[in-house]
Amino acid sequence: MKSKGGFLKGRAKSLVFTLRGTWYLLTTEDAAKAQFFLCSVFIVIGFYFGINRYEWMFQLAAIGAILAVEALNTAVEKLCDFIHPDYHPKIGFIKDISAGASAFMVLVSIVCASIIYYPYLFHD
């Protein structure tokens, strides 16, 4: 079945949904707020130290990955709560794994930040 709205109208609607979802994430989830704040701090630090384009590439990839994994973690948690509002061990297991993915991405990003900023902080 063909859409009656046209290609551009469909893309505009998708953009609205995307922006709304991002807004919901950043205004309702404390973990996402904290991660967004820390990511913003690292962007400022990157400008302060004048990191090169390759360092920016890795830093922005890490920031994007952190925020994307946090969004997916939040979506999994909300879906689990919707499906089974009461406590259930399997739902808890699923939510723990989802949170673990977010924590793992943060740890990898800390390693990336350490590699990027070590020469700027501890040069001879």
- Residues 65-117 pLDDT 10s: 999 999 999 999 999 999 999 999 999 999 999 999 999 999 999 999 999 99
124 is in an annotated binding site: no
In angstroms, rounded to a whole number, what is the distance separating the alpha carbons of residues 33 and 36?
Answer: 5
Once rounded to an integer, what is the mean pLDDT over residues 29-39? 95
The reply to whether 94 falls in a domain is yes
Say how many domains are in the chain: 1
pLDDT of residue 6: 87
Whether 78 has a binding-site annotation, put simply, is no
Residue 100 within a domain: yes
Q: Which residue numbers are catalytic? A: 70
Cα-based distances in Å from 35 to 32, 49, 64, 70, 90? 5, 21, 11, 8, 27
Domain that holds residue 98: 29-120
Q: Per the annotation, does 4 bind a ligand?
A: no
In the predicted model, what is the mean pLDDT of residues 39-47? 97
- Whether 23 is in a domain gets the answer no
Output the pLDDT for position 68. Answer: 96
Report the alpha-carbon distance of residue 23 to residue 28 in Å, rounded: 8
